[in-house]
Structure 1
Amino acid sequence: MTNTSPRRSDLWAVATADVTSDEALELLREYFYDVANRYYRLHFGREGAPEELESGLADSPSGDLVAPDGLFLIGRHDGAAHSCAGLRRLDATTVELTRVYVRPALRGTGGGARLLAAVDEGARALGADRIVLDTRLDLVEARALYLRNGYREIPAYKSGPYAEVWYGKELGAPDQQVR
């Protein structure tokens, strides 16, 4: 007997979006609050105060995640916006992945993998053959997601207060990718 029920990841669809839309801004705020509060809990034993979080969000603009040198993606689960990711061009062949977020209630449903597959497509559309990113060591779920989806640790390509580990992925033609 064949199982005809949809796979969990079949409920996900990802498309480019306006980074200034209400949905995008809501997801970006949730992303920032999630990663910032994890940092505050780890290093200070407390949640970030609302004014600290809002100040940090204001200091981390996403306005460069637009054409022609960037893009912003929103992932929809069963039609509702629940994930996001952004790309920005670093040079003629390299883009940087940033703002990767899946709402906690939907982690483990295939949304992260579907989002990263769309990131690959978006990077190719920007003319890139390489994606790089930096992240923190404590963001273990994100790091595992990157490794499961073809990213490998690379030497630091930039520095920053929250950059503790760096990943890269070489993009071949879509039919050459290992799934």
Structure 2
Amino acid sequence: MDEGQIQQVRRFNRTVTQRIGVLTDDYLGRGRPLSESRLLFEIGREGADLRDLRARLSLDSGYLSRLLRSLEAQGLVTSQRAAGDARVRRAALTRKGLREFGALDRHSEDFASSLLTSLSTRQRERMIAAMAEVERLMRASAVTIEAADLASADARACLEAYFGELQERFENGFDPALGASSDPEELVPPTGLFLIARLDDRAVGCGALKQRNRGVGEIKRMWVAPDARGLGIAQRLLEALEHHAARMGMDTLQLDTNRALTEARALYARNGYREIPRYNDNPYAHHWFEKRGLRGKRAGDASSR
């Protein structure tokens, strides 16, 4: 990792935390720290389940409980069992909490305006564009990719969403039973693999690898959730599959795709996959790709470290 890049990240973090006032216990002049103010905002006018708040804010149960107790002591929040499910607790704003929510919202708007007021029109445009890019890349940096059990709820959800999208996009619909073989037993070690990409503990993508014959593997089930596209997840899934394929002794990867999936074809082309003649009887495939030399690439990566 480049040391200059690391130091830039650290400078950026120091500047932002100081400039937006998160180092005091009086965030936005409302007499409480950012953590409590943010939780109040996330509960919002409609209320929220505690498990959703934990996931949304990446908080452990103990810290969330302490924040809630503080807000309850201030008369801003109540929490109780959710109607219809005693296992779920739900937080809601009191009348006082709703008034405080409105005040926080106004103060936040005013502060955002104050950040922009002293800048020229061109500087404001640059700042907003930079913020949007940083937000996108921060989300991308939070994505994790790991092997998953095909029987897991996340794997099933990804595959259902994948099949549903193909049904919508393919000219004549899609039936998984008619496509090229990808039986569950083919997608598990030592001859296969199923990967899931997660963002904020939510499964947002998947990709699979199976061995076709000695030294040759096939990529299957590549999918990214529509609301997570543009974060480079498909690229990372592809690189992870290539890495695992090389480790499993595969030097060549092949895949097929439908003519409707133009973005998938572009992804494979820019990653060194070349079109080859048909190698299977998949009725939904119009293009077939291949990439060779994976094991040599892995050796080169290792020698450069």
- Report the TM range for the smaller structure's normalisation: 0.7 to 0.9
2:213 corresponds to: 91
* 1:167 maps onto 2:167 in alignment: no
Deviation at 1:175? 5.8
2:167 corresponds to: 36
Structure 1 segment 1-179 matched on structure 2, within 5 A: 2=8, 7=137, 8-39=139-170, 42-43=171-172, 56-57=175-176, 62-63=183-184, 64-170=186-292, 171=294, 172-174=296-298, 176=300
What runs of 5+ residues in structure 1 fail to find an aligned partner? none
Higher strand proportion, which one? 1
Rg (Cα) greater in structure = 2
Tell whether the 8 Å contact from 2:178 to 2:283 is kept in structure 1 after alignment. no
Q: Percent identity?
A: 39
Instruction: Give, as a single letter, the amino acid of the residue that structure 1 aligns with 2:277.
Output: P
Match of 1:90, SS state, is: strand
Match of 1:173, SS state, is: helix
Whole-angstrom distance in 1 between the partners of 2:258 and 2:177: 20
Calculate the TM-score normalised by the size of structure 1: 0.82
Deviation at 1:160? 2.0
**How large is the Cα RMSD of the aligned pairs?**
2.2
Higher helix proportion, which one? 2
2:38 corresponds to: none
CA spacing shift, 1:161–1:28, aligned 2, 3 Å:
same
Deviating more after overlay: 152-161 vs 89-98: 152-161
What runs of 5+ residues in structure 2 fail to find an aligned partner? 1-6, 13-133
Instruction: Give, as a single letter, the amino acid of the residue that structure 1 aligns with 2:153.
Output: D
Calculate the TM-score normalised by the size of structure 2: 0.50
Whole-angstrom distance in 2 between the partners of 1:158 and 1:28: 22
Deviation at 1:17? 0.7
CA displacement 1:34-65 (0-9 Å, x = unmatched): 012111xx34xxxx6xxxx7xx3456664121
Q: Higher RCO, 1 or 2 (CA under 8 Å, sep at least 6)?
A: 1
Aligned residue-pair number:
165
Whole-angstrom distance in 2 between the partners of 1:124 and 1:80: 28
* Segments ≥4 residues shifted beyond 6 Å: none
